[in-house]
Amino acid sequence: MTVGVLGAISADAGIPVVASQQAGAEPVQSRGLGSLTSRILSGSVLGLAGGLIILAGGWVFTVATCLVAYQATQEFYGFITSKGISAGMEPPPPAVSVLTSLMCVCLSVWTYASHGRSTAALAVSAFALLSLQLLTVKQLRFSQLASSVFGLFYCGYLPSFWIKLRVLSAPAINSTAVHGWPVLFGGITHWTVGLIATFMTVACTIAADTGAYAFGRTLGRTQLISISPKKTVEGAIGGLACSTVVALAFWRFLRWPAQVGVAVGLALLIFLASLCGDLIESVMKREAGLKDSSDLIPGHGGLLDRFDSYIFTGAIVYFVLKFVTPLFGL
């Protein structure tokens, strides 16, 4: 799970924990001090790198998104080819996995190059994946078609919305608070809706995860959902509260969003989207019988373990800013 797994509670709280190992595997030992140190260090490096990448925008942000899409695809196919899932569902052949990785990366590149137009590219990519299977798989099953298209959507199309969000170019800063900031940060004209919205979405997601973890661990008693018994109602309330506080801080100090109601609404949607992303990856890991999606990030597991909460948030915030708030003149 990510650092901010919602409602994580201590073992003495009396709520069962989902088994995360393959059948017959050794029990997972509790993480020691060395693991905690590596977790903090790798998390700090990721946070610093992520902040600089968001600030840079452009091709730097796009290349980073491409790397995320590629690694997410590898870990997704690791799930569906695992013993836990493949026992009941025939996975797509390796050629489809390779093409899916390529298409997921190309979706991010196309989204940036076309200034956010990726819907048709998704349809073309899906057609290519399905056609390849029709031509190469003798005993083709629906599960193979469905899993490949879901992988394209989950690992390629959804991450591309972060590029759509980042390239929103309308000026965002109405406050005098940042007029004195050094040119190092790009100057006042650099602070667009895309930049501030991306920073706020990431910050609210981190706050939701961290707040839910802290509140759930200290106060969590009521199970939230059976999919992940570690998640509690108390943790969810804490996560929502922390996400709201961060959104209100952006509204108060940067004057974005311009209306306090929009800030609160975005905080709620970001929290719900991060929770949904976390739960969906939990389902995949449970079905695969895996504890982590990979061992890519020391102390955190795989990329999907760290970024599952971000899968849907970019798309949700982009939709609200692009279509909902203009509709109501906000």
Q: What is the pLDDT of residue 89?
A: 77
Strand partners, 232: 223
CA 89 – CA 87 distance, rounded (Å): 6
Q: What is the dihedral of CA 7, 13, 17, 21, to 10 degrees?
A: 100
Nearest CA among 65, 63, 3, 56 for reference residue 31: 3
Q: Per-residue pLDDT averaged across 49-59, rounded?
A: 92
Answering whether pTM is above 0.95, one says: no
Q: What is the mean pLDDT of the chain?
A: 83
Q: Got the DSSP string for 97-151?
A: HHHHHHHHHHHHHHHHHTTS--HHHHHHHHHHHHHHHHHH-TT--HHHHHHHHHH
Q: Is the dihedral angle over the CA atoms 104, 107, 155, 137 positive or is it negative?
A: negative
- Which residues neighbour 163 within 8 Å (Cβ) at sequence distance 6 or greater? 61, 62, 65, 108, 111, 112, 116
> For residue 271, is pLDDT > 90?
yes
- Delimit the domains of the chain by residue range: 11-16+33-327
What digits encode the pLDDT tens for the residues 303-319?
998 899 999 999 999 99
Question: Contact, 139 vs 92, CB < 8 A?
Answer: no
What digits encode the pLDDT tens for the residues 111-145?
999 988 889 999 999 999 999 999 998 889 998 99
Task: Specify the 3-state DSSP secondary structure of 26.
Answer: coil
Across 51-78, b (16+ Cβ under 10 Å) vs e yields eebbbebeeebbbbbbebbbbbbbbbbb
Q: What is the dihedral of CA 195, 196, 202, 204, to 10 degrees?
A: -170
What digits encode the pLDDT tens for the residues 155-201?
999 999 999 999 998 876 665 555 555 444 444 456 889 999 999 99
What digits encode the pLDDT tens for the residues 62-116?
999 999 999 999 999 999 988 878 776 778 888 999 999 999 999 999 999 998 8
